Structures are given as C-alpha cells and as structure tokens.
Chains A and B, each alone.
Chain A
Amino acid sequence: MNTLHTEEMTLNMGPQHPSTHGVLRFVVRADGEIMREAVPDVGYLHRSIEKIAEKVGYHGFMPYTDRVDYVCAMFTNQGWASACEKLAGIEVPKRGEYCRVIAAEFNRLASHLLSVGTMAMDIGAMTPFTHALREREMINDLIEELCGARLTFNYMRIGGVAFDLPPGWREKALAYLDHFEPIFDEYNALISYNKIYIERLANVGVISAADAINYNLVGPNLRACGIKWDIRKDVPYSVYRDFDFDVPVGEGRWGKLGDAMDRYMVRIRELAESARILRQALTRIPSGPVLAKVPRNFKPPAGECQVRIESARGDMGWYVVSDGTAYPWRVHVRTGSFAAMGIMQKLSRGLMIADLVTIIASLDVIAPEIDR
C-alpha cells in the first residue's frame, strides 16, 4: 500500500504584505497551516544612512536621522544630538532638555498609539485603528505647531532644540492631556479588555525572560517578559531624573508571561506613564535659553562615544567616531527593531501562519529602523 506523502511548503510573506508595515520579507516553511519556521529577510529598506553621515557633516545629518525611524523621529534626533554633545562636551541648557523631553514623550505617545492601533487592525479589528490614529493626529498637530513638520521633525540641534515652545502651546498641550486620559479608558473598553481580542493574543509568541536577554530584546518587548529595564530609569539621561514615573512590566495576567498580550498591555500602560511625565515636564519647565552656543562649523575633538536613548522601540544606541574633522569618521545606530527580528525565527516555530502577523505586530517592528 502506498502512503500519501505530504509536502512542506515554502511561502513568501512580503516584501509587500499589508501586515509587515513596510518592506519586510519572511520566508515561511509551512506544513499546512503550521509554520516550521519563518526566516526574516531584511535589507529591503537599506538606505546607507550611516554612510551618509560621513558625507554631510554633523549639522547636516540631523534631517537624515528622522529617516532612521520615522515613527518616532524625536528619539533619533535626540540620540544624534546627545552623541555629538558628548563628543564635544557641550552642555544643553535646562530648558532645552525639557523641550526635548516634552517633544520626545509626545512622540512616544504617537508611536505607541500607532503601534496598538495597527496591532488591533492586523488582528482584524478595524475600528480601534481609527480611534488610535485620531489621537495620534491631534499629537501630530501639536508637534507641527512646535517644529513645523508632522513626521520628519528635525526639531533638535546639537546643543539644544531649534525652536522654543510657541506662545500658548503649553496650555494647549496640557489641555490635550486632559482630553487624552479619559480617551485612554475609552480605548481600553473598546478593544483592550475585549474577550475575543485577549483570547487571540494570550499565549501567542511567548518569550521567556532568559530568551529575551539572550536575543537582546529591548524596550517594551523586554519589559513585557517581566524584566524591569528602562534606560530612562536605570541609566538616566537628559532630565529624566527629575520625573516621577513607573516602568510597566508584563504580568502574565491573561496568559503566560511574555506573550503578545503582555507586550500589548505594556505599551498601553506606557501611554499613561508618558502622559504622567509630560504633565510634570510641562508644569515644571524652567525659563532660559533652549540652545547652547555651538559653532556652525562644528568640529568635535577626535574620539569616540556611545549614547543610549530609550526610544519607543527600546534601547537605541548611537556610536560616533570622530577624527577631528567636520565629518564623522564612522556612525553606527543600534535599533530595537533589528534585535526583534532576531528572535522571529525561534518564536515562529510551531505557530499558525496567522500568528506570524500577531508576532510582527506585537514586537512593534518598524521596517526602516531594521535596515537604516
């Protein structure tokens, strides 16, 4: 008697798949609906941004940093600016630092809103996406008034920020926070506590704490595995020492610790924490200059430095080597999304193909940040 042989299937997911949020390709080896493994194929969005830095100089590279991670460009701005300041030993005025924190935390709100919104959309719930994007749109309006752009901000400069807060902006921002905090509960009622949604996410893509550290996960993905590690708290930079805020970690309330639902809820709770930081920063902002004196022909002394920033996607490292000329000798960016791609192959084993979408969304991968 002949046995009926089943065959393993090789599927391409991407590079243009709606759930990959950008140009990202997975080579999926599947046995029916069950994945043997999904191998991420990165590099479709490589734009040589690190090389460009060696050609355009220190001031000119600032708009390019917006393109490293366009969903939270304030953090890439801040990373580059602080790296240059550390190289040249420039001290940023107190008000400049506060402006940076305010802009960055608003950007974190926008980035996390986009993340939780698109996550719900990838799972199949269309309405929460429009709710999250509506809130993000209001933040974009605020940021537009602050720095003139909605996505590629180019707000920060070496030595401070390009613009002071416009007149009346502080009141507007506080009014927005008053509006945002109730909306936040509404959003939770809409989708976060929905039983079907929880069942869809709980126990999917479980990452143990040991794996998270071994695969070098950062940011909300790491914290969802129960590890309390936040650069803002543990290696404080800028003026984050002044603020009182908590670092939300995964609890495993709905399933195993470190599943997709934990990653989602950590982001939701970080929204509240960011709003808390913003409220403190907006009420305490000191007066004074926002930009330190930095020569237009900026030549830091020869040397190298590494700066860490807690971006919306986690620990972002900026490594700059200067040889004393007007152009950096080498720039390297270490981003959270690239680290998250590493664990994809391990996570996907034995899951359904539909769960791959959940994992990508829950790790909050931004395609341009993977490749730079």
Chain B
Amino acid sequence: MTAIGSYFRNIKDAVTTIFEGMAVTASHFVRRPYTVQYPDRTPMRVQDTLPIRYRGILEVDLEICTGCLACERACPIDCIVMVAEKDPATRAITISQFDIDIAKCMFCGLCSEPCPTGSIHHTTEFEGADFSLESLIKRFVKEPIPAYKAKKGPETDPRIAPILDRGMHFLDEWAQPGGEKSGSTT
C-alpha cells in the first residue's frame, strides 16, 4: 500500500511544485522586461550609458602626451609602439611614432594607469569590428610633433587646457598609492 501511496504522493508533489514554478514564470507577464534589443532599439547609444571607468578602445590625446614611454613599458603584450627622441641640445622630445594595435590589445588598462597626464585612456567605444587586422592598428602620429611639457601651475593655453582637464579627470579615477583621495567619501 505504501508503494502506491508514495507513487501518488510523488505525482501530487510534482504537480504542485510545477505550479509553484509556473506561478513565478507567470508573474513575469506583469513585470517590466529586463532585456533590451541591441543595437537599434536602445533609448540612447550604449556607449553613452557606460561608466567612465569602462575599458573600451584606447584613445590618445597627442596634445598632452609627454613622450615618457611609461605606457609602452607597462603594456604586457607590447601592443603599443612608440618612438620619442630627445634632442640633446634643446632637451625637447619629439614624438615620431605612436601606434596601438587594437587587435592585439587586451583592454587591461595597465597603460593608462602610469600616464602622468591621462593622455592615453580608454574610451567607452566598443564597436570596433572591421574587415582587416591592418585597419585596427591605430596610428596617432601623422608627422613628428613636439611632446607636451608640463608647466608649473595651471595650463594657460586655451586650446590644451580643456584636453588636459579631461585627461586629469581620467587620471583621478585611479587609486593613488597610499593616498587618501576619495577614500573618505564612502
């Protein structure tokens, strides 16, 4: 008798638990859907909704690049190639090449961390599909340009000041070694 009893009890349990599960599923008919259709049905460009720390495709503001080669040294996969020459007489640095192989880049962010001005930084752009690997190499230097030289006090050049402000904004996101910074704003 117990065998028959447990047989029917199992059927009863199965049916009731299925309906409990189904009740959860049914409740989703009246909830707002969580999914959105990408790319054409999003209310705004996805790139604009991403946080500032998002590590998308790398971008370089050459106007504020000091040519210190810190990013090239920090890159663990050598996807940054940079040539910066120092004139022995005037001590001015000229940047003649700054290439980043986006196809090789693993978006780790180690290059933008040591940058003194925030010149190299990640954008929120992630749609980088292309038909050839060659076109994914970003060549920032068209012709050799002088490197940016940090001034004492605030930047006075009206053309460079907003770019430097933006660069420092990226730099502020990184934790400063041992620094108090935003630590107390919990």
Contact = CB atoms under 8 A, between A and B. Distances in A.
Nearest to B53: A148
Contacts of B75: 60
Interface string B13-25: 1101110110111
A86 B54 CA distance: 30
Interface stretch (A22-30, A61-69, A348-356): A61-69
Given A152-B108, A166-B51, A294-B177, A196 B25 contact: no
**B interface secondary structure, majority:** loop
B146 interface: no
A147 B51 CA distance: 9
A161 B24 CA distance: 40
Contacts of A291: 175-179
Contact of A163 (B24, B114, B174): B174
Contact of B107 (A95, A149, A289): A149
Interface in B28-55: 34, 50-51, 53-55
A291 B181 CA distance: 11
B184 A287 contact: yes
B53 A167 contact: no
A250 interface: no
B144 interface: no
Q: Give the interface centre of B51, B107, B122, B176 by most chain A CB atoms within 10 Å.
A: B51
A197 B17 CA distance: 10
A146 B110 CA distance: 16
Interface residues of B, number: 43
B183 A95 contact: yes
Contacts of B55: 148-149
A170 interface: yes
A146 B59 CA distance: 21
B67 interface: no
A59 B186 contact: no
Contact of A190 (B24, B74, B108, B177): B24
Contact of A196 (B18, B53, B175, B183): B18
A287 B183 contact: yes
B175 A163 contact: yes
Contacts of A57: 76
Interface in A327-366: none
Interface of B: 10, 13-14, 16-18, 20-21, 23-25, 34, 50-51, 53-55, 74-77, 106-110, 113-114, 122, 173-186
Given A149-B54, A287-B185, A289-B178, 16 more contacts: A60-B75, A60-B76, A62-B110, A144-B53, A145-B53, A152-B107, A161-B175, A163-B173, A164-B175, A189-B20, A191-B21, A193-B20, A195-B17, A289-B176, A290-B175, A291-B177
7 contacts: A63-B108, A95-B183, A148-B53, A166-B51, A196-B17, A290-B175, A293-B177
State the 10 A-B residue pairs at the shortest beta-carbon distance, nearest first.
Answer: A60-B76, A63-B108, A148-B53, A287-B184, A195-B13, A195-B14, A148-B55, A145-B51, A291-B175, A56-B76
